[in-house]
Amino acid sequence: MTHNDIFRRLRYIFSLSDSKVISFYEMGNFEVSRAEISSWLKKEDQEGYEKIRDKMLAVFLNGLIIEKRGKQDGAYPEPETRLNNNIIFRKLKIALTMQDDVILAVLVLAGFPISKHELSAFFRKPDHKNYRGCNDQVLRNFLKGLQFHIVDKTPLDDASVVKAKLATKKTKETFVWSKPKK
């Protein structure tokens, strides 16, 4: 899953206009044009596609946090120069003020249940012995569950909907732990 996929999905999930996205970058004292946003939203095989850099996605996610939670006292947070799925997942958790139980419900809604212990391993510090790298499958399913919940207005506690989604799944996805890259 590329950063462009994440950017594209988040923009759709939260119905963010170009001007709103530009305002996220302005909060961090970064300039971005509508043309750049348009090139980030294109698929890889389309003409004019441009890969979004880690730092630019980090600024976008910081802007999303400020938009959803409000501006905190002090300086704007310094954007990370290197992003991984764990950092992206953590920033989304912060932006949406989600507790572990809610995240687990979102993953169940996407048809990808995991345990609370597996989830907590993603939010640990990289040097912790129980830290696990968040692979694309987990992040993709989290975004899919968010889309069901926010865009499609599917309640998180509707067990019949969850069972129906699981029943229509053609293949069972398996979860594979990945060790962090050093």
Domain ranges of the chain: 3-69, 85-167
- Cα 64 from Cα 69, distance rounded (Å): 8
Question: What is the tens place of the pLDDT at every residue in 32-84?
Answer: 999 999 999 999 999 999 999 999 999 999 999 999 988 888 878 889 999 99
Residue with tokens 């029943």: 167
Q: Which long-range contacts (CB under 8 A, 24 or more apart) does 47-53 make?
A: 49/4, 51/2, 51/3, 51/4, 52/3, 52/4, 52/7, 53/3
The CA-based diameter of the chain, rounded to the nearest angstrom, is 49
Q: Is the dihedral of CA 49, 31, 24, 34 positive or negative?
A: negative
- Cα 39 from Cα 46, distance rounded (Å): 9
Helix (H, G, I), strand (E, B) or coil at 151: helix
Write down the pLDDT at residue 73: 82
- Residue 62 and residue 55 in contact, taking contact as beta carbons nearer than 8 Å: no
- Residue 21 and residue 60 in contact, taking contact as beta carbons nearer than 8 Å: yes
- Residue 135 and residue 85 in contact, taking contact as beta carbons nearer than 8 Å: yes
Question: What is the tens place of the pLDDT at every residue in 158-177?
Answer: 544 555 555 555 444 554 55
pTM over 0.95? The answer is: no
Q: How confident is the model at residue 105 (pLDDT cuts 50, 70, 90)?
A: very high
